[in-house]
Amino acid sequence: MSVLSSKEFPRFYGRRIGRKLSKSGILALKEGSRYILQYDKFSEAFLNFNKKIVLEIGFGDGKNLINSAKHNPETLYLGADPFLNTTVKCIKQILENNINNIKIWPDDIRKILDLFPLKSISEVKLLFPDPWPKLKHQNRRLIQINFINNIYKILETNGTVTVGTDHKILKSWILEKFQANNEFEWLVETSKDWQNRPKDCFLTKYEEKALNEKRMPSWFVFKKK
């Protein structure tokens, strides 16, 4: 499902495909094709929605994406994730719940950041991004100075980026990288602001795993000035 030459973009290091898709998975992809964004029709598909837009990057099996869309039918949710198996899981749930306010980009978000109109996104959610804990792999982390600058362009003024992680090194990394951009303000008044999941986010598979293994997540909300 890759749409552009990989030479043009930063290399993606995560998994794209896991187990072979089941028959029901293949069927869901076919039936749910209307939910999937195409690179060459991207702006057309996107501009047809005159709604508040929330972008979730790395939605995994879609728990937060699906619940958010159900609770806020007036908002359009764009979900990006290159891992086909979980994307299929998510599409199955979209079909089962007859959800009409989700669009899926089944690939690396960095391939389409340039396609969004400036200031078109109200919120960005990044829940439990891959930590790439080894020092030699830190360039593989999604949150980098360049990435934050690109997110900045597409966010509306006062728009927010919410990041959750249970990974110790990534917690400091996230703060360091966002604070390197003076145009973002970390919304924090008390420790509760980073200890508690924001009210507009739902429990995900990776948060549940972290809690079961006694790793406390931290939550960071950055506002574009």
Ligand X SMILES: C[S@@+](CC[C@H](N)C(=O)[O-])C[C@H]1O[C@@H](n2cnc3c(N)ncnc32)[C@H](O)[C@@H]1O
Smallest separation, CB 181 to ligand X (Å): 19
Burial of 181 (C-beta count, 10 Å sphere; 0-12/13-18/19+)? middle
Kindly name the residue from 130, 166, 193, 200 that is annotated as catalytic.
130
Among 128, 152, 184, 222, binds ligand X (CB under 6 A): 128
Rounded to 10 degrees, what is the CA torsion of 163, 149, 114, 2? -50
**Is 51 a binder of ligand X (CB under 6 A)?**
no
* Binding test (CB under 6 A) with ligand X, winner from 25, 32, 129, 217: 129
Our separate counts of H helices and E strands in the chain read 8, 7
* Total residue count of the chain as it appears in this document: 225
Size of the site for ligand X (CB under 6 A): 23
- Using CB under 6 A, which of 66, 109, 151, 161 touches ligand X? 109
Kindly state whether residue 14 participates in binding ligand X, applying the rule CB under 6 A.
yes
219 token code pair: 């939550």
Rounded to whole angstroms, how far apart are CA atoms 58 and 109?
8
Write down the least CB distance from residue 69 to ligand X, Å: 15
Single-letter code of the amino acid located at 220:
F
The reply to whether 148 sits near ligand X by the rule CB under 6 A is: no
108 is catalytic: no
Residues 177-196 that bind ligand X (CB under 6 A): none
Among 46, 77, 178, 206, binds ligand X (CB under 6 A): 206
Out of 83, 132, 173, 222, the residue judged to bind ligand X by CB under 6 A: 83
Select from 25, 58, 106, 217 the one that contacts ligand X (CB under 6 A): 58
CA pair distance 9, 110, nearest whole angstrom: 7
Q: How far apart are CA 58 and CA 41, in angstroms?
A: 22
- Which residues touch 155 (CB under 8 Å, ≥6 apart)? 119, 121, 122, 124, 161, 224
Q: Binders of ligand X among 160-179, rule CB under 6 A? A: none
Considering only 18-26, 27-35, 55-63, 191-199, which stretch makes contact with ligand X by CB under 6 A? 55-63
Cα–Cα dist 59/53, whole Å: 15
Q: Which helix (H) or strand (E) holds 31?
A: helix 23-31
- Judged by CB under 6 A, does residue 219 bind ligand X? no
- Which positions ≥6 away from 15 have C-beta within 8 Å? 83
Under the binding rule (CB under 6 A), the answer on residue 142 touching ligand X is yes
Residues in contact with ligand X by the rule CB under 6 A: 12, 14, 57-60, 80-83, 86, 108-110, 127-130, 142, 204-207
Residues belonging to the active site: 130
